[in-house]
Homo-oligomer: A and B are copies of this chain.
């Protein structure tokens, strides 16, 4: 048993050494992939309208970005051409409601979602949301998320990029390719992760265990 543990310890050290030497050789950390399906961020006023006055969202699962979580609550999104049910609410509440859909959802809803970075909602179209206790018609906030990479300031230094910079990323494989216009979002509360939606992930054949690299 003791021997078994020694071997295990040696193996673990070897793996760790190998990992760190790989990182050192490449000089940059590998970037994990976070894949988002359609989802909504809600203001407290809209939470009240959708789920009842003073309602508090129920956290269900932590997301990789610190403090962010998927909630038990879902809403229905309704446009002039159709509705999409069971769209996950993400918490915590925000100052403004933001509805992030796939570009393909635009056709179902009958409203074209412009590609925007999170929070950049000026001039975006509105949409109707339906909850268990009521509905709200937001006048702006429907977007398709622009591809971006969250990271700490330390990661940004290692990756030789800056907050706000626009880069391209590359993925290998049969469905491999390059995405341009990927925004760097660096601050000290973020964890390194490339964010894409399900259509973008499927198009390049990446999944939750994939790693991508920035192409200079």
Residues of A within 8 A of B (CB): 102-104, 115, 146-147, 168, 174-181, 198-200, 202-205
Contact = CB atoms under 8 A, between A and B. Distances in A.
Contacts of A103: 175, 202-203, 205
A58 B32 CA distance: 48
Contacts of A175: 103, 115, 147, 179, 181
A115 B205 contact: yes
28 contacts: A102-B202, A103-B175, A103-B202, A103-B203, A103-B205, A104-B198, A104-B199, A104-B202, A115-B174, A115-B205, A147-B175, A174-B181, A175-B179, A175-B181, A176-B181, A177-B177, A177-B178, A177-B179, A178-B178, A178-B180, A179-B203, A198-B199, A199-B199, A199-B202, A199-B203, A200-B203, A202-B203, A203-B204
Contacts of A102: 202
Summarize A's interface: helix, strand, loop or mixed.
mixed
Contacts of A147: 175
Q: So how many copies of this chain end up in the complex?
A: 2
Given A103-B202, A147-B175, A200-B203, 5 more contacts: A104-B199, A175-B179, A176-B180, A176-B181, A177-B178
A204 B74 CA distance: 28
Nearest to A169: B177
A116 to B, nearest CB: 9
Name the residue in A115, A178, A205 with the highest tally of chain B Cβ atoms < 10 Å from its Cβ: A178
Nearest to A146: B174
A177 B200 CA distance: 11
A212 to B, nearest CB: 12
A166 to B, nearest CB: 10
